[in-house]
Amino acid sequence: MKIESTSFNIFYPRIQNLRRKLFEFEDNLESFFFTPFEGHPIPDDAPSNIPRISAKSKNGHSHMDVSQDRLSFQTNYDHRFNGEWARCLGYLNDRIIPITKIIQTLVNNQFLYSGLTTVIFIEHNDPINHMLKRYFDVQQSNNPFDINLKFTYVIDEKYYINIGINNVRTYSGNANVKNVVPAYLDKINEGVVISLDINDRYGYNYIKEYNSGLVEVKEIITKTSRVVEKNLEEIFEQGVFNL
């Protein structure tokens, strides 16, 4: 199992004059990101999802974008972290909690919802047959070339747990090949990618006057950790979703 990446996102009511808050982000996150942060000269009346503030982590593994209505914190893990969830979890906690506290201050402790997506690669020499045996009960004359599945669950009447499962192939080649397609490349390996997305958008969608906060962010991290540590193996090996 290899933890490839995570993406943490917060959605909140539109914040005007966001670029004026740049120093507040820098002061609270300077130990994690290069300073100065990059402030983008975007007019306030431009689409709210365009980033106004960006920052890169000091070791180059993470990138943060802040727009008027959402924040995105994305991380790619290298060999020092990707085989050990506990290290990834510590990295996330150290950064997501202070990031969330800044947003809470800017929106008076009332943001809309948040979510954490974790992408995991599991190498397997016959991923199609493995997935057919674990997740399907069908008869067919030919095996599919690709499989892409998604399961969505609601937990605690507040959280969505989305689990995407698909096969993947990895190829290598050089810059001199005639065409960058598999016919001219060498297959390195293949396997299964599991994308785990846990968020509290169900609460936002179905609970009147719903407000999210740091409690929900911490619970999303806890639920993610529980699935990775306790459920992921049986989801992959047995097709058992005991959430």
63 assigned to some structural domain: yes
* Domain count for the chain: 1
100 assigned to some structural domain: yes
Could you read off the pLDDT of 102-119 as tens digits, one per residue? Answer: 999 999 888 999 999 999
Say if CB 111 and CB 11 are below 8 A apart: yes
243 assigned to some structural domain: no
Indicate the pTM of the whole model: 0.94
190 assigned to some structural domain: yes
Q: In terms of Cα–Cα distance, which of 166, 156, 237, 240 is closest to 196?
A: 166
Could you read off the pLDDT of 220-236 as tens digits, one per residue? Answer: 999 999 999 999 999 99
Higher pLDDT, 97 or 177: 97
Question: What is the pLDDT, as a whole number, of residue 83?
Answer: 96
DSSP tag of 208:
T
The rounded distance, in Å, linking the Cα atoms of 215 and 93 is: 13
Say if CB 140 and CB 224 are below 8 A apart: no
- Amino acid present at 50: I
Could you read off the pLDDT of 41-68 as tens digits, one per residue? Answer: 999 899 999 999 999 999 999 999 999 9
Question: What is the pLDDT, as a whole number, of residue 122?
Answer: 97
Q: In the structure encoding, which two tokens stand for residue 83, read together?
A: 């085989």
Higher pLDDT, 160 or 187: 160
Domain holding 224, by residue range, is 2-238
Question: What is the pLDDT, as a whole number, of residue 70?
Answer: 97
Q: In terms of Cα–Cα distance, which of 188, 189, 186 is closest to 177?
A: 186
133 assigned to some structural domain: yes
Helices (H), the chain: 22-29, 85-106, 127-135, 201-206, 214-226, 232-238
Say if CB 118 and CB 6 are below 8 A apart: yes
120 assigned to some structural domain: yes
227 assigned to some structural domain: yes
